[in-house]
Amino acid sequence: MISENIEKLIELQKIDNEIFEKLEEVKSFDKKEKELNKKIAEKEKEIKETKNDLKKIQLDKKEKELEIKSYEETVKELNKKLDNVKTNKEYEALLIEIANTKKKISELEDELLLLMEKEDDILKKEKILEEELKKIKEEITNKIEEERKKTEELKKEIELKEAERKKIAEEAPVELFQLYEKIRKTKKDNKAIAKVEDGICGGCHMSLPTYIVEMVKKKEKIVQCENCSRILY
């Protein structure tokens, strides 16, 4: 009987829809996991960049400190020389040199101060980022764990549905089942059958010719939509 066979297909399609939805959910988990891990990677990258900035500033600082030290040595030596100068001219020249060196030291100290302020800011930023990373990691690990559990459940449910499906499929005529499968596999929505409502195919939403609608109503043979090939009922 055609109507019995159609009933089987409807039953089969119902299970296939469920399996399809669950599989989509499983697929979406992989995508979700990747996106969540990307968030961690982004934060880690930000921290790495901050650490690099910090290193650069600390090197600059060290350089300035060494420069200051060296100028301070120069001032000391110039002061010593002051005791041994023979002429006023030499004396004046030394005083000028000392004043110039001290001015350089003072400039370097200002620069050093700015670097120290920058260093402080970056250290603060780094601390905040590290805390954010810790929080994000915790949240994401929990979320992934939760999703993973859900996915495992889904996979078990899919297995059960597959078994159920196999049983129903075996009850349908082989040729009809093969036709059903052939159509289903070409459809993005995984649907091989379509209900006719108000003369319209429920699969592709095209208006069906009257003779097709009549044939479907008679239930004497399997009728397919001329547009989307789905089996009509």
* Beta carbons of 51 and 102 less than 8 angstroms apart: no
The number of beta carbons lying within 10 Å of the beta carbon of residue 106 is 12
One-letter identity of residue 50: T
Least Å distance, CB 230 to Zn ion, is 5
Relative to beta strand 193-194, strand 196-197 is unpaired
135 versus 182: smaller Cβ distance to Zn ion: 182
* Beta carbons of 165 and 16 less than 8 angstroms apart: yes
Binding site for Zn ion (CB under 5 A): 201, 203-204, 225, 227-228
* Beta carbons of 156 and 22 less than 8 angstroms apart: no
134 versus 217: smaller Cβ distance to Zn ion: 217
Least Å distance, CB 224 to Zn ion, is 8
The number of beta carbons lying within 10 Å of the beta carbon of residue 201 is 23
Residue 186 tokens read as 């070409």
10 versus 116: smaller Cβ distance to Zn ion: 10
105 versus 225: smaller Cβ distance to Zn ion: 225
Least Å distance, CB 40 to Zn ion, is 46
Least Å distance, CB 192 to Zn ion, is 11
Least Å distance, CB 205 to Zn ion, is 7
H helix intervals, the chain: 2-82, 88-171, 174-186, 210-218
37 versus 227: smaller Cβ distance to Zn ion: 227
Q: Could you give the CA distance from residue 183 to residue 24 in angstroms, rounded to a whole number?
A: 19
